[in-house]
Amino acid sequence: MSPDELQEIRKVSDGLEYPSESDAPFDLFRWPKGRGWGREQVVAHGGANRKVEEVTIDAFFAELVESDDGARYKQLRRALESQLKELNIFRVGVGEPKVDIYLVGRTRAGDWAGLHTTSIET
């Protein structure tokens, strides 16, 4: 995978924060090709004993595009959908105070990549 392949996602997510009790930034990640699909990769990286919930893309972005940063979240969604195939969104640690959120899909090279953030839910 070329180093610039995820540049658009990096650019539109830079400085953007996921609104929760902590307003956490989005971190770009790339996991090398491996067996399994997005959910299995997320479980391997997010913790095997944690509850995982899949969220639709529409549901995830619904409130975000209505926020003060709505235009940036629309850009983010477009960038993710244009750069990644099989895009899925997972919440890991549902029911815990800290929930890891992964927006993950496949790059053109077949690696898993996307964004990670956290939501504090007390």
- What is the pTM for the complete model shown? 0.90
* pLDDT at res. 46: 76
Domains of the chain (ranges, CATH numbers): 7-120 (3.40.1460.10)
Least confident of 68-72, 96-100, 108-112, 114-118: 108-112
Q: Which amino acid is at 43?
A: V
* pLDDT at res. 122: 86
Q: Is the pLDDT of residue 117 over 90?
A: yes
* pLDDT at res. 2: 53
Residue 95: Cβ within 10 Å count: 10
pLDDT in tens, 31-56: 887 666 667 778 777 777 899 999 99
Beta bridge partners of 28: 115
Q: Identify whether the C-beta of residue 85 lies closer than 8 Å to the C-beta of residue 105.
A: yes
pLDDT in tens, 45-93: 777 789 999 999 999 999 999 999 999 999 999 999 999 999 999 999 9
* pLDDT at res. 1: 43
The 3-state secondary structure of the chain reads CCCCCCHHHHHHHCCCEECCCCCEECEEEEECCCCCCHHHHHHHHHCCCCCEEEECHHHHHHHHCCCCCHHHHHHHHHHHHHHCEEEEEEEECCCCCEEEEEEEEECCCCCEEEEEEEEECC
* pLDDT at res. 35: 62
